[in-house]
Amino acid sequence: MLLSPLAAIHNRLLRLHRPFLARGWREPKFAYSTAAALDAARLCLVAQQSLTLAPLLKGGFQTLHVQGAIVVLFNALWTEDRLWRADEPVALDKHDDYLLIREAFPFLERCLSHKFEPVRKVAGQALQTVGLLLDAIEKRLAAAREGAHYEVER
C-alpha cells in the first residue's frame, strides 16, 4: 500500500510550507511555498480518496492529515478572487479544491465509528469545522453574486 506513505510525505511537505502559505499570496518571495503547500494538500486528499475504505493506521493520524489539507485548501478558496466576482461567477461545485474537500467527507464520517474514542472525537470536530467552513464559503459566494459584501460571523 504505497498510498499511505505517499500521503504521509505530502503531509510533511504541507507542514513544511504551511507557515509561508498566506505570505505567498502577497509576497512573490514566498509564492513557491504557497504553491508547494497547495500541491501537497491536494495530493494528500487524492491519496486519501483511495484509502477511504482501507483500515485506519496508527490510531487515526490520517484524520489529522486530511484535516490539515482541508484547511489549506479552504484558505485557497477563500482568497481566490475569481470566485467572488459577480460579473464572472464560478460554479463552486465545479471547482477542483471544493470537490476535494467534499470528497473527504465519507472518510471523516467513517472515522466516527472508529474503535478509539480520540479518533471519533477528532473526526467529529473535523466534520463540524469543515461544515462551518463550507457554509461560510457558500454564504460568501451567494453574497458576491448579489453584489453584496460578506462579513464573517464571529
Spatial separation of the C-alpha atoms in residues 37 and 61, rounded to whole Å: 19
Q: Does 152 reside within a domain? A: no
Q: Does 57 reside within a domain? A: yes
Structure confidence at residue 154 (pLDDT):
57
When divided into structural domains, the chain yields a total of: 1
Spatial separation of the C-alpha atoms in residues 101 and 108, rounded to whole Å: 11
Q: Does 150 reside within a domain? A: no
Among residues 66, 72, 76, which one has the least CA distance to residue 125? Answer: 66
Q: Is 27 left (phi over 0), alpha (psi -120 to 50) or beta?
A: beta
Q: Does 41 reside within a domain? A: yes
Contact 64, 124 (CB under 8 A): no
Q: Does 154 reside within a domain? A: no
Q: Does 32 reside within a domain? A: yes
Residues of the chain with pLDDT under 50: 1-2
Structure confidence at residue 92 (pLDDT):
76
Structure confidence at residue 107 (pLDDT):
86
SS3 58: coil
Angle at 124 between CA 67 and CA 93, to 5 degrees: 55
Structure confidence at residue 67 (pLDDT):
87
Q: Does 85 reside within a domain? A: yes
How many Cα atoms sit within 13 Å of 64 on the Cβ side?
Answer: 11
Structure confidence at residue 1 (pLDDT):
47
Structure confidence at residue 29 (pLDDT):
93
Residue 27's domain comprises 3-145
Q: Does 97 reside within a domain? A: yes
User: C-alpha cell of 134?
Assistant: 463550507
Structure confidence at residue 62 (pLDDT):
79
